[in-house]
Structure 1
Amino acid sequence: MPKKERLIKQAIKGDQNALQLLLKDEKDKLYKMAFIHMKNEHDAMEVIQQTILEAIESIHQLRNPAYFSTWITRICINVSLKELRKNKKIVTMESYSIPDVVEVSGSLEEKLDLTNVLYGLDEKYKSVLVLRFYHDFTVNQIADILGCPEGTVKTNLHRGLALLKTKMKGAYMDERRNESY
């Protein structure tokens, strides 16, 4: 039995040290997911704290140890969305600095452009795109995390990618037009 699976089974039985080790392995992924939703470090850290608290309280409900990562990611997304609904915040891009959340190759400007466009998408598109392309979850896993049908995930991926392409193409086409003058 792999070490991670053994740790998960121990955590389900109530071993807090095992759960702590598992959460430590997931912390970067959870932070990125929380930051993408909350758009600032302070709120993202609050979401992480609430996610950890909910994980501690409900680890015994995890039925299949193989889905630990999916389970904890779903908690993080749900906590993020609950906080957004509760606070109903509107945060502008200028109000915070963007850490290297979006890890793509290319120049800093390209990363910032992609991040800005990604933040501007509806939650349903942003969530599936981040889970699929930055966390490498399958469509099936994303459907489990978000609690929706696979067809909905596929539709949101397709539409989200089309929106990204349109918005990114528009930004770069505008730049090219300005350069030709």
Structure 2
Amino acid sequence: MEKDMELILLAKRGDREALTKLLVNRQAKLYKTALLYIHNKEDALDIVQETSLQAFLSIKHLHHLQYFDTWLIRILINVSRHLYRRETPVPEIVELTADCHKQVDLHQDLMQDLVMVPEKFRVVLILFYFNELQESEIAKILRVPTGTVKSRLNRGREWLREKGDVIREY
């Protein structure tokens, strides 16, 4: 983590190579999040690429270096939402890459139901269960109170339970 902080500081000062290293180290996590959000491999790759571009363009505006990952996921979610609004997603189930599959360990039924979860609940479920972020971190990313995150998490779980799936508790 200390090495990451050095890279983040260098990136903020304009070192493109440092930012590239940071993005490469987080590429699988970004791809996994985009894939779970959009459910389309090509769009997920586009989202990761656009997120990287936006990070390069706005790294100088990062005020708190310790929140680099939160800032980066926020960019990814904004890019995903933009794409999601622009195109009507086709609810399809995609096969995850081996790396993502190991990290996520999803059941196909759960992934299929996640496509149908309302967006404001889905994003919280993805960040909590698949990115293993705490409720307070999700609140910072989404810029909502922690109570709102808890509520959306509970409502998302209820929505899935009503559909017959149960998210296993971690």
TM > 0.5: yes
Q: TM-score, normalised by structure 1?
A: 0.83
Looking at structure 1, the residues matched to 10 and 37 of structure 2 have their Cα atoms a distance apart, in angstroms, of 31
Share of identical aligned residues, percent? Answer: 37
1:16-31 correspondence to structure 2 within 5 Å: 16-31=16-31
Contact 1:114 1:168 in 2 (8 A): no
Distance 1:169 1:153 in 2: 21
Cα separation, 1, equivalents of 2:147 and 2:94: 35
| Structure 1 Cα separation of the partners of residues 133 and 149 of structure 2 | 11
Q: Across the two proteins, how many residue pairs are aligned to each other?
A: 162
Amino acid at match of 2:10: Q
Distance, in Å, in 1 between the alignment partners of 2:165 and 2:114 is: 13
Deviations 1:52-85 (A, max 9, x none): 1100000011111111111000100000001111
1:129 equivalent in structure 2: 125
Does the 8 Å contact 1:30/1:48 carry over to 2? yes
Can you list the C-alpha shifts for 1:9-57, whole angstroms capped at 9, x where unaligned? 0000011111011001111111011112221111111111111110000
User: Structure 1: which 4+ aligned runs deviate by more than 6 Å?
Assistant: none
* Structure 1 residue 91, shift from structure 2 partner: 0.3
Match of 1:165 in 2: 161
2:15 aligns with 15
The question of 1:97 aligning with 2:98 is answered no
**Unaligned segments of structure 1, at least 5 residues:** 106-110, 171-181
Question: Which residue does the alignment assign to 2:51?
Answer: 51
Given that 2:110 and 2:165 are in contact with CA atoms closer than 8 Å, whether structure 1 keeps it comes out as no
Contact 1:140 1:150 in 2 (8 A): yes
Equivalent residue of 1:90, what SS? coil
TM-score, normalized by length of structure 2? 0.88
